[in-house]
Amino acid sequence: MCFAGGLLAVALLPWFMPGLNGNAYLPWISLVFGTAGLQALYVASNMVRGEFEEDTSHLQPSDGRRGGDPSGWTGGRSEAVLGGGERRDAVEAGRAYEGLEGPLRPAELLLAEANLRHDEVAAARWAASEAADSDLTEAGFERLGDLIAANRLTRPGPEETFHHLNRPSKPEEP
């Protein structure tokens, strides 16, 4: 700190001595000493500021996607031994991360509410579509899942079912 103050004092010295102002090189020397003094002051203040910060080098850097968990991103790896051939259940593994993200922000709350409304509307549309499907009623089913469970979709259809897709279309006249 004293060194930086000395450099700044030397930089101001030519401006306060009336007999030295006639030399053309003194303002440049003043500028160089002033810049060096300010840089030394900046470096000294950063060194002092660093003494009081906490040492967090023992923690892994977090990319901020896991809230308050200091261990950061796992990349899909868990504490299980890799290569063991175990089946990993996503629901069970997901429970380990519950509560890490903290409370939802207003935008996230709005998105969650919109997702719930979208799910309700989609379920209502699906039910209406199944109720209005004439193929399901002809087959004697109320739901598409029942038709699939009965394996009615695996039987081959008539020979001409997709034949129209193989025929070249007639060119339109201009």
The predicted-structure confidence for 16-74, as pLDDT tens digits, reads as follows 666 655 565 566 667 777 788 777 777 777 766 665 566 555 555 555 555 556 565 66
Residue the block writes with tokens 């089946």: 87
What does the pLDDT average to over 76-105? 73
Whether the CB-CB separation of 5 and 44 falls below 8 Å is answered with no
State how far Cα 82 lies from the chain centre.
26
Report how far residue 173's alpha carbon sits from residue 115's, in angstroms, rounded to the nearest whole number.
48
How does residue 102 score in pLDDT terms, banded at 50, 70 and 90?
confident
What was the pLDDT predicted at 77? Answer: 61
pTM value?
A: 0.33
pLDDT band at 128 (very low <50, low <70, confident <90, very high): very high
Which range has highest mean pLDDT (98-102, 107-111, 157-161, 162-166)?
107-111
CA angle (136, 146, 89) in 5-degree steps = 140
Element (H, E) at 69: none
Rounded to 5°, angle at Cα 107 from 103 and 108: 50
Total length of the chain: 174
